Structure 1
Amino acid sequence: MHNSDSQPPNGTPESGELGASSNAEFEALKARVAELEANNNELREIVLREKAELENQRRRLHRDLEQARRFANEKLLNDLLPIYDGLERGLSVEGGDVAAVREGINLTLKELLRIAGNNGLVQVDPLDQPLDPERHHAVSMVEAPGKAPGTVVTVLQKGYVLNDRLLRPALVAVAKDD
């Protein structure tokens, strides 16, 4: 008997069909690999661009922070320049009356305190107030008839608070018990 089927008797495709099918699968896989490589290259470029952008932002932030640090006191110092000029003019005056010099110093001090206040500095002057160990430093106790014990009777050096933080405590003398 003669078999006229195109398949061999064991039921497997002929080598020609197997080759065509494998070849098509191989070409499809090659195309898929090429597509994935292209996608991978594209993603790699995106990552590199993002990394470069982050590095540029980091550098800009560092530069801006450095500039802010270097010029943080610019406004304050600019406000202090007229006081500096006034003190120089006062020192350059030859022979003047003491009252006028004193008045000029007083005006300069008021202006200095105004500028300091605008920048968050508050003077602590606790005269006739109870001692506050958080803001005052008692350096002596003195007899003070008519004053309650623990009351500040003399301010030796005023204290200062900067934006609610004690910068320097006031040095005071306090009334002692009779």
Structure 2
Amino acid sequence: MSNEEQQQPNPAAQAPEGAVTEGAAPEFNPAVLLKQLEEAQAQAQEHFDKALRTQAEMENLRKRTARDVENARKFALEKFAGELLAVRDSLEMGLDAARGETDVEKIREGTELTLKMLAQVMEKFGVEAVDPQGQRFDPDRHQAMSMQPNAELEPNTVMAVLQKGYLLNDRLLRPAMVVVSKAPEGE
């Protein structure tokens, strides 16, 4: 044997049992291959079924979410409107009572009670009045209807509130309509 032959390893001697070596024909066992194919097909079917179920669940979730959003939008004011019904009832009763009533004091008292009831409902739902009398003009919360010279007040101070503004949970619903002071012309 030559030196080259001794240094070359024998591939058949080093290959693990059942492994295909170069030049050797692979051994095919039809029963083993058929079993592997069946297992792969079963696993593929299982994955396909899971994917279908997941897709169906996602579609159901999308539909349910859309329905919930629509219901939330549709019935968002349900509690508020329900509370306002008592105020409306009170106003209607006041009008009915005022038809034959000549005592203005009773009518005023009924109106004040109704206004108080309305204020309670509004407060319950986070509606807050903005009455900036004497405060510095804030263009984010006030709408200046006019400016009047006034030497007693600093410029840009709210002199009069023509119509209150309202906030809903600290978000402006309507700005207060105000008259704002300005420095007199001669100063």
Relative to structure 1, the CA distance from residue 79 to residue 53 in structure 2 (aligned partners, 3 Å threshold; closer, same or farther) is same
Question: For residues 74-89 of structure 1, what are the structure 2 equivalents within 5 Å?
Answer: 74-89=78-93
Question: Following TM superposition, by how much is the alpha carbon of 1:143 offset from its aligned partner in structure 2, in angstroms?
Answer: 4.1
Relative to structure 1, the CA distance from residue 106 to residue 144 in structure 2 (aligned partners, 3 Å threshold; closer, same or farther) is farther
Answer yes or no: is the 8 Å Cα contact 2:142–2:176 preserved in 1.
yes
Q: Which amino acid aligns with 1:114?
A: Q
> SS of the residue aligned with 2:183?
coil
Question: For residues 5-84 of structure 1, what are the structure 2 equivalents within 5 Å?
Answer: 25-84=29-88
Q: How many residues end up aligned between the 2 structures? A: 157
Structure 2-normalised TM-score? Answer: 0.76
**Equivalent residue number for residue 100 of structure 1:** 106
Work out the CA distance in 2 between the residues paired with 1:48 and 1:105.
64
For structure 1, list consecutive stretches of 5 or more residues without a partner in the other structure. 1-20
> SS of the residue aligned with 1:116?
helix
Q: Deviations over 1:4-56 (max 9, x none)?
A: xxxxxxxxxxxxxxxxx95x612211221111111111221121122212222
Moved more, 46-55 or 142-151: 142-151
Work out the CA distance in 2 between the residues paired with 1:58 and 1:27.
46
Q: Which amino acid aligns with 1:117?
A: E
**Equivalent residue number for residue 18 of structure 1:** none
**Equivalent residue number for residue 124 of structure 2:** 118
Runs (4 or more) in structure 1 with deviation over 4 Å come to none
